[in-house]
Every structure is written in C-alpha cells, then in structure tokens.
C-alpha cells in the first residue's frame, strides 16, 4: 500500500471512530473517562470479629461531630451499639478527636489500643502514633514518651494487659501502662533493624511485624536484620523544591548481597538476647516466618535457602538457642513461602504463622508435594503428615482453622480456575471436603469467619455483578442479613449500553488450554472483524482471568468495548491459577519466554476466529503485565501492532533478589537465561507502536529499568512514546488528577494508533 492510500485509509478510520467517541460525551448509556472512575462499590472498612464471636466491630463516621465511632454489631440480630464514640477520643488540650485507623482490645477487654496519624513507609507499611484508651475511666494516654510524631510501629498488648510493646526507629520498646515507664530492649542503627524488616523482606516475603510476645509475656522473640553492605538505591524527587530531594535505601537487586537476618529471644524486662543457632550463611538464606510454638519455651522458625527451593522448619529452645529440624519442604522449582504455614491477622492479611492443633502436638502446613496445593496436619516432630484436603485440586486460601469445632475452612474451585468457593474439611483428616458456598452463586466468594465458626461476613461478586456483602450462618450458608448490596451501582450498570462478556478456553496446542474472557462491543456483528486489546499480567504473582468484579479496569475496558474494541485477557501457564503445581511452575527459569509464547499462541488461535482482525492486535499491562506487554511486541512483532507497558521490568537484573531469583535462579548461574528472559534483549525487533509509562519515584520497579530500555530503543533507532510521571510510585496515583490523566493517555494512544470500530469481514 503506497503512502497516500495509507493516509486515506487512516483518515477514513478516524472519521468513522471520532463520532462514536464524541457521542460518549453526551450519551449517558456510554461510559466516559470521567464516569469510569465513579463506578465504585461500597465496602466494609476495618471490620473485625470480637474475640468471643458474638459480634463484629467497625469504624463509622460520628453522627455528632468529626471523627469516627467504634461500633459493635450483634452477629445474630444486627443490633448496633456504640462502644467508643468520637467524643471520648479528644486528648486533653486538643480541639478535635484523634481518628482511629486501626484498633485492638487488651486481653481483659478493659483497654483499647488505637493507631492514628499514619505515615507511609513503603507501599503497605506505615508508622504512626499509638494511644491507650482506658474503657473504665476514659483516660487517653499517648505511647512513646519523647518519640517523634508518626514513628511507632506494630504496638501490641502484653498477654497480661499491663504493658505495650512497639517498634520505634529500628528498636523494640516495652512501655508500662500503669506508670508509663519505657524500657528499650534493643540497640539498633541505620543498618541494624530490630522488630521490623528491610524493603525486600516486606515486599516479597510479606514480613511486616517483626516481633512476638511469648504466651506468658516474659519474653519477646524478634528478627534482627543487618543491611550493612547491601547496595542502596536512590530515588530523586525533582518536584518538591528548587533542588532535588534524594531518598536512599538498601535494595538488593538480583544476584547482589542481601541483608543478614537472625532471630533471637530477649527478656521483656530487658537483658541480653539469646540468638538461635541457625546454620548457614545468613546473607544467602532467609528467615521468612517465626512464631512461638504453642508454648513459651520454644519458637518455630522457617529457613529458606537463597534459591528458595528448600524450606527448613525448626524448633528453637528459647533458653539455650539450640534448634532442631522437624520438617523440610523441597521443590525442583521454588517453594511458595506464602503458603508455608497458615494464619490470618485481624485485618485478614496473610501472616504465615503456624496454626497449632491438639494443644501444640500438631500444626497445619501447606504443601504441593503431591502435585496440588493441599493443607496437611503435621506432628510436632514432623514425622507424621496427614492430608486434610485430599483430591486433584488446589487449595486457594485458608479462611479459618476452627480448632474447637474440628473444621478447616478453605477456598478452592476444583472445576473452574476462574472462580472461588468456600469448603470445609475435618481437621483430623477423617473425611472429604464439602462445599459450603451455594451452587446458585457461581463466581467469586470471600469470607471473614467468626472465631466460633458459626457466622461469616460474606462477599460475593461475578465479572458482571458488583460485590454484595451479607452475614451468613455456617455451615448452611443461610443469609442472616444484608450489609451492603450495592444495588444503586448495579442499577447504574444496567442502564449502560450493554457489552456482552463471556469466558472461554483457547487451545494453544500440545493439549494445553488457557482460560480467557472477552468483552464485545454493544452492536457486535459476527460477520465483521474487530480490533482486539489484550490485558495481561502473565507472571507468577497475578491472575487476570477471574469471574469477579474487576473494578476500575473492568469499567475502562467496557468503555473501550463501547468504542468498538474487543477486550480480552488470557492467563498463560506460570500464573497462579489453581490448575496444579505443574501449571504454575512451568515458568521456572523461563520467565518472559514461557508466558510470552503462551500469549502469542493464544493470539494465533484467537485470530482464526472470523470476527477477529488479525492485523489490529494490541496489548497492555502493569508491572509484570508491563513486562509481558514489552515481551509481546518485541518478541512477536508481526502479531502485535500496539503495546502499552506501565511500570515494566525491561531487564530482570534490575529487580530485587527475592522475587527474581525465586523464579529465575541466580543471574551468576544463568546469565544467558536472564538475558533471554529480559524484554530489553529484543528491543531492536520493535515494529509496532509502543507506549511506555513509569513513575520516577517508583521504589518497587525502578524507573532506571525504563531508562535502560530507552537507551536500547534509541540505539536501535526505534521510535516510541514515553510518559514519565514525576515522583509517582509504582501505583502512579499520587497527585491531583494523576489517575484520570494516565487512563486518558492510554485511551488516546490506543485510539490514535489502533482506531476502534469494525471492518467488513
């Protein structure tokens, strides 16, 4: 096609597409960039069950003045009682109440620990201020003594409710509630971190709270990390003043030196730390989990080797520091430490602490040793392991171990990897699992089960149904009362010009079928051919093909479908779908290769469908999805015409040790594999239109990687479009108007480089 004919074709296509896009500004049945961001379902905030399971607690806006009330709802009747009104939360001399962000009751129920005035450390970790509210005298006391504002972390009552321990500036302190006396237990410094963790432990091993009271309150077990020698990364903030502000922090990139970790026990009244005698180079092993072992005499510790394919579980004597090995979990690829043990904190976050049975004689353990992820009951010495959830399916998550009732509640979906249901099985492994989620509710379920196991806060959604939350009775799953139905939002959705969505499986050859979904334009005509936008993640930490409400991305994808695109997503092998260990770990040492080939083969199969325009294929993704988008357009330049990569990792060597080495091995051992797995290696093959988006303040996936890719593309004389968001983090949301600007950028680029609308078949 000569140049003039090409220009005429593009002009005609734009003339066809422009009126449709313009109509979206005036037709309320069509989504716009502004309206997309308004489709937000309501959800419960900071809800937790009372210890006795009779009711649940929530934070709600005060009806009398500013601040939040702490309220209780009876599980059976829904009766609402204000336990702590905001009026009780104004410190002496202050004009306004403190705002509760998190809370916890003492064991005796007489005191309330309040977290407020938070300041973000990294993406999910925060420091702040802690207060004690005496529920008899209503006296408010701020903890920390002379501590600077917003410097305390992980405060917890002692088991006898007389003290509170917390972390401040890399050290552990214990403060007496009665007289305010503060005892500093550890000696930390910039590189010596006590009771908390460095960046990579927090991000990749989900380690946050780095200390534990012993059950008798006499000792504290804790982690200490030494980050000396770990190379530091600098983030440059050019927007806060006339001169740059530089933030420097230890960040070990793949193959580089790690922090050294050790675990010890110290008297809660102060004294010397007894360190556990754990073999192995601490720079080349991780200690990702630690907890008291159902007594005040022993601590259970997990040690993961640098390659993360061997997890050793040991019991340590708190008096002598001696350890003995009780269990070893091995895998030819990697061990999923997030599944190594089971527990959930009051906010529903996976802590990974061990759940003990039979008075400490047995513990629960997750393993893929039979090819599926299952939960086992293991004897304290590790010699006897009984599978509780036996069968050819994966456990997706554990919701609760009901020790008194004798049940394990867990999530699974044996027939459909895109969905999620509640099951239970006897803890003594004496019977088969039974499904509790009703068969009439196909889709995705979530639960916060009461301590007694008789009620649960239940949330249900599907791809086209917004989340609804109710109280259900277990095990019959009868709905007791609706908490949030989001009916108004569902009604708004019903008034939109409908886009048909459907799930499918696509055969990519060799007996492999991939799960996928697609959203079709409202006036879809199977006799025409449509452009396709693929949404991808593609790496071991994300599954995009889920029969669940997709929030902002779903609404944006629906807007694009209304413009005339077919939007699709396919989960390749190596994503964390519950389709067996072999499925998930086939990507080992083939990152960027396995996933991009599966995605490309899916495109080849799908473009044989008569309504797909094989010449108009686009792909986009964020983080790992950004990397997958780069791999797609670089490795398969004849398949993809447009790629939009947000916050990608162009060179695997630039990402952190724990994530990258888990899935790819050490770069020193496999330098060519790292090269072949990195999108940057194939940048010179770019043919289509590429948009790269990155936040320059990204502490997770550094902008440095995108700069290296820019160099490679320039050297190869490849044209591309770049958007750098100054001082934004990995989520690219900070600053007024940022989210809308980003999605307008993505929309405009797609509209211009791959105009919407069908063509005659």
Q: State the pLDDT at residue 64.
A: 74
- Does 40 reside within a domain? no
Q: Same domain, yes or no, for 558 and 673? A: yes
pLDDT at 37 over 60: yes
CA distance 628 to 538: 6
Judge contact between 602 and 571, C-beta under 8 A. Answer: no
Angle formed at CA 91 by CA 86 and CA 92, multiple of 5 degrees: 135
- CATH number of the domain at 197, please: 2.140.10.30
Q: CB neighbours of 288 closer than 8 A, spacing ≥ 6? A: 201, 205, 207, 302, 304, 337, 340, 352
- Asked if residue 73 and residue 203 are part of one domain, the reply reads yes
Phi, psi of 89 (to 5 degrees): -110, 20
Please indicate, yes or no, whether residues 607 and 718 belong to a single structural domain of this protein: yes
17 pLDDT tier (thresholds 50, 70, 90): low
- What percent helix, strand, coil does the chain show, rounded to 5? 20, 35, 45
Compute the half-sphere exposure of residue 343: CA atoms within 13 Å on the CB side of its CA.
Answer: 15
Residue 462 near residue 549 (C-beta atoms within 8 A): yes
How open is the CA angle 731-737-738, to the nearest 5 degrees?
A: 25
pLDDT at 12: 40
* Contact indicator for 185, 266 with CB cutoff of 8 Å: yes
Q: Residue 577's domain is classified under what CATH number?
A: 3.40.50.1820
Final residue before a domain boundary, out of 399, 417, 446? 399
On the question of pLDDT at 350 being above 60, the answer is no
Considering the domain architecture, whether residues 585 and 712 belong to the same structural domain is answered as: yes
Q: Are 423 and 412 in contact (CB under 8 A)?
A: yes
Would the pLDDT of 8 be above 70? Answer: no
Residues 242 and 372 in one domain: yes
Assess whether 561 and 692 both reside in one domain.
yes
Residue 454 falls inside a structural domain: no
489: which strand partners?
A: none
Distance CA(220)–CA(195), nearest Å, equals: 10
Same domain, 513 and 647: yes
State both tokens at 147: 């501590």
Has residue 23 been placed in a domain?
no
Instruction: Please state the length of the chain.
Output: 761
Neighbours of 608 (CB within 10 A): 8
742, 725 contact by CB (below 8 A): yes
Q: How confident is the model at residue 23, as a pLDDT?
A: 60
Structure tokens, 278: 């754990």
CA distances from 585 to 339, 528, 541, 642 (A): 15, 39, 12, 29
Cα distances (angstroms) measured from residue 331 to each of 255, 336, 369, 692: 21, 9, 8, 36
Q: Are residues 382 and 517 in the same domain?
A: no
How many domains is the chain partitioned into structurally?
2
């026990």: which residue's tokens? Answer: 265
The H or E element that residue 628 is part of is helix 624-635
Q: Collect all residues with Cβ–Cβ distance below 8 Å to 440 and sequence separation of at least 6.
A: none
pLDDT-derived band at 340, boundaries 50, 70, 90: very low
What confidence score (pLDDT) does residue 46 get?
Answer: 77
pLDDT of 564 over the 90 cut: yes
- Per residue in 366-386, pLDDT (tens digit) is 999 999 999 999 999 999 999
Place of tokens 């050790």: 262
As a whole number, mean pLDDT of residues 734-746 equals 97
**Residue span of the structural domain in which 638 resides:** 502-755
Mean pLDDT, the chain, integer: 93
The helix or strand, by DSSP H or E, that contains position 671, with its residue range, turns out to be helix 671-677
Judge if 157 and 300 occupy the same domain: yes
CA distance 254 to 264: 28
577 with 697, same domain?
yes
Report yes or no on 445 lying in a domain.
no
Higher pLDDT, 5 or 422: 422
Please say if the pLDDT value at position 348 is more than 70: no
Reported as a single tens digit per residue, the pLDDT across 458-508 is 999 999 999 999 999 999 999 999 999 999 999 999 999 999 999 999 999
Task: State residue 418's pLDDT score.
Answer: 98
98 Cβ neighbours under 8 A, 6+ residues apart: 67, 89, 90, 91, 114, 116, 117, 129, 131, 140
- Asked if 699 and 235 count as a contact pair (C-beta separation under 8 A), the reply is yes
Asked whether residue 161 is domain-assigned, the answer is yes
Q: Is pLDDT above 60 for 570?
A: yes
Decide which of 350, 377, 399 is a domain's last residue. Answer: 399
Measured from the Cβ of residue 614, the count of other Cβ atoms closer than 10 Å reads 16
Q: What is the pLDDT of residues 586-645, one digit of tens each?
A: 999 999 999 999 999 999 999 999 999 999 999 999 999 999 999 999 999 999 999 999
The last residue of one of the domains, among 373, 399, 425, is: 399
- pTM given for the model: 0.93
Query: What would the pLDDT profile of 143-159 be if each residue is shown by its tens digit?
Result: 999 999 999 999 999 99
Same domain, 553 and 700: yes
Residue with the bigger pLDDT between 486 and 348: it is: 486
User: Is residue 152 located within the same domain as residue 284?
Assistant: yes
pLDDT at 45: 82
Give Cα separations from 51 to 9, 220, 420, 679 (angstroms). Answer: 68, 23, 27, 50
Q: What is the pLDDT of residue 722?
A: 98
Residue 33, domain member (yes or no): no
Instruction: Report yes or no on 99 lying in a domain.
Output: yes
CA distance to 291, 293, 363, 378, 580, per residue, from 381 (Å): 16, 12, 10, 8, 28
Tokens of 59: 């934070």
Look at residue 107 and tell me if it is in a domain.
yes
Question: CA distances (Å), 297 to each of 312, 350, 716, 749, in order?
Answer: 20, 25, 63, 62
């Amino acid at each position: 096609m000569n140049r003039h004919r090409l220009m005429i074709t593009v002009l005609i296509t734009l003339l066809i597409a422009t009126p449709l896009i313009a109509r979206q500004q005036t037709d309320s049945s069509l989504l716009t960039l502004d309206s997309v961001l308004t489709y937000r379902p309501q959800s419960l905030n900071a809800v937790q069950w009372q210890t006795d399971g009779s009711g649940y607690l929530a934070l709600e806006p005060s009806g009398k003045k500013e601040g939040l009330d702490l309220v209780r709802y009876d599980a059976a009747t829904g009766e609402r009682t204000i336990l702590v009104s905001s009026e009780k939360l104004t410190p002496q001399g202050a004009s306004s109440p403190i705002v509760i962000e998190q809370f916890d009751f003492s064991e005796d129920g007489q005191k309330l620990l309040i977290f407020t005035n938070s300041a973000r450390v990294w993406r999910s970790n925060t420091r702040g201020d802690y207060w004690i509210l005496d529920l008899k005298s209503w006296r408010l006391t701020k903890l920390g003594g002379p501590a600077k504002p917003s410097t305390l972390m992980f405060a917890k009552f002692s088991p006898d409710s007389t003290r509170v321990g917390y972390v401040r500036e890399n050290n552990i302190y214990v403060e007496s509630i009665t007289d305010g006396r503060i005892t500093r237990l550890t000696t930390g410094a910039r590189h010596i971190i006590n009771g908390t963790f460095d960046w990579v432990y927090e991000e990749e091993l989900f380690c946050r709270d780095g200390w534990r009271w012993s059950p008798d309150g006499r000792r504290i077990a804790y982690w200490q990390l030494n980050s000396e020698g770990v190379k530091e990364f600098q983030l440059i903030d050019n927007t806060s003043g006339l001169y740059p502000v530089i933030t420097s922090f230890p960040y070990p990139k793949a193959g580089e030196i790690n922090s050294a970790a050790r675990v010890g026990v110290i008297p809660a009244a102060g004294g010397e730390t007894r360190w556990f005698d754990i073999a192995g180079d601490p720079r080349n092993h991780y200690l990702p989990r630690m907890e008291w072992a159902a007594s005040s005499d022993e601590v259970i510790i997990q040690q993961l080797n640098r390659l993360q394919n061997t997890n050793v579980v040991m019991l340590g004597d708190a008096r002598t520091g001696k350890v003995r090995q009780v269990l070893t979990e091995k895998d030819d690829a990697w061990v999923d430490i997030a599944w190594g043990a089971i527990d959930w904190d009051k906010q529903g976050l996976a802590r990974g602490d061990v759940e003990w049975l039979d008075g400490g004689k047995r513990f629960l353990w997750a393993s893929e040793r039979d090819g599926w992820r299952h939960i086992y009951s293991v004897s304290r010495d590790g010699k006897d392991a009984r599978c509780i959830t036996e069968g050819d399916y994966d456990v997706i998550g554990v919701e609760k171990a009901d020790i008194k009732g004798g049940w394990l509640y867990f999530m699974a979906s044996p027939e459909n990897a895109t969905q999620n249901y509640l099951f239970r099985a006897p803890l003594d492994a004496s019977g088969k699992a039974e499904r509790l989620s009703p068969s009439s509710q196909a889709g995705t379920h979530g639960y916060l089960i009461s301590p007694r196991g008789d009620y649960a806060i239940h949330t249900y959604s599907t791809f086209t149904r917004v989340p609804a939350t109710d109280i259900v009775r277990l095990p019959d799953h009868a709905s007791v009362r609706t908490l949030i139905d989001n009916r108004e939002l569902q009604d708004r959705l019903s008034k939109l010009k409908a886009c048909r969505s459907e799930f499918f499986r696509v055969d990519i050859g060799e007996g492999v079928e991939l799960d996928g979904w697609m959203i079709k334009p409202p006036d879809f005509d199977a006799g025409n051919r449509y452009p396709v936008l693929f949404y991808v993640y593609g790496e071991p930490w994300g599954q995009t093909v889920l029969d669940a409400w997709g929030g902002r991305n779903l609404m944006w994808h629906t807007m694009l479908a209304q413009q005339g695109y077919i939007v699709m997503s396919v989960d390749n092998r190596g994503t964390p779908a519950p389709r067996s260990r072999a499925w998930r770990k086939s990507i080992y040492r083939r990152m960027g290769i396995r996933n991009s080939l599966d995605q490309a083969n899916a495109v080849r199969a799908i473009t044989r469908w008569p309504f797909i325009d094989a010449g108009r294929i686009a792909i986009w993704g964020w983080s790992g999805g950004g990397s997958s988008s780069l791999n797609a357009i670089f490795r398969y330049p004849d398949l993809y015409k447009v790629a939009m990569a947000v916050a990608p990792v162009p060179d695997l060597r630039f990402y952190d040790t724990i994530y990258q080495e888990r899935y790819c091995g050490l770069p020193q051992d496999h330098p060519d594999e790292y090269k072949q797995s990195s999108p940057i290696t194939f940048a010179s093959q770019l043919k289509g239109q590429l948009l790269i988006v990155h936040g320059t303040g990204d502490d997770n996936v550094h902008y440095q990687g995108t700069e290296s890719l820019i160099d490679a593309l320039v050297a190869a004389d490849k044209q591309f479009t770049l958007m750098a968001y100054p001082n934004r983090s990995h989520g690219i949301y900070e600053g007024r108007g940022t989210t809308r600007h980003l999605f307008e950028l993505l929309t405009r680029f797609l509209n211009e480089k791959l105009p919407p609308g069908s063509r005659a078949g």
